[in-house]
Amino acid sequence: MRRGLLKFVNPGKVMVKIPKEQRRYCPSCDEHTEQTVKEVTNRGTSPFKKKHRKRQRKIDKGYGSFPFEDPSHLARGKSNPTSSKHDLQFSCKECGKAWKPRNQLRAAKFEIER
């Protein structure tokens, strides 16, 4: 699989299948090696991100009905995406180090093949 696939935006409800083992470039080994793919889940978000700071600031100050805003106003003229970004992690079989690509894969349906 080429690196260009990670920049792929899935336009419809097409299933994206990625092989579990791939031959890719490893930044720490500085060469192409066999790597395994896994999807990272249940990762907590940082409380220092801008959206968390903004929410806490408005909750502390008090602003109308802020904690229970109407979700249709959150898009601000744009449509909400129907697909989600999948957080992939590649781990090298030779050095054992894991890394994540810069561009996440956006797809409505996603599967890692065995």
**How far apart, in Å, are the Cα atoms of 107 and each of 7, 84, 102?**
11, 6, 16
Strand partners, 111: 17
**Residue scoring higher pLDDT (114 or 50):** 50
CATH match for 1-41+80-114 among 3.40.50.2300, 3.40.140.80, 2.40.10.10, 3.10.450.80: 3.10.450.80
Sign of CA dihedral 32, 94, 19, 106: negative
Tokens in use for 49?
A: 């991100």
| Rounded Cα gap, residues 1 and 8, in angstroms | 12
Between CA 6 and CA 10 the distance in angstroms is 10
pLDDT tens digits along 79-109: 767 788 888 999 999 999 999 888 888 888 8
What are the tens digits of pLDDT across the range 17-48? 999 999 999 999 999 999 999 998 877 788 89
Contact between residue 94 and residue 69 where contact means Cβ atoms under 8 Å apart: no
Comparison of pLDDT for 105 and 6, the residue scoring more: 105
Q: Residue ranges of the domains in the chain?
A: 1-41+80-114
Single pTM value for the model: 0.60
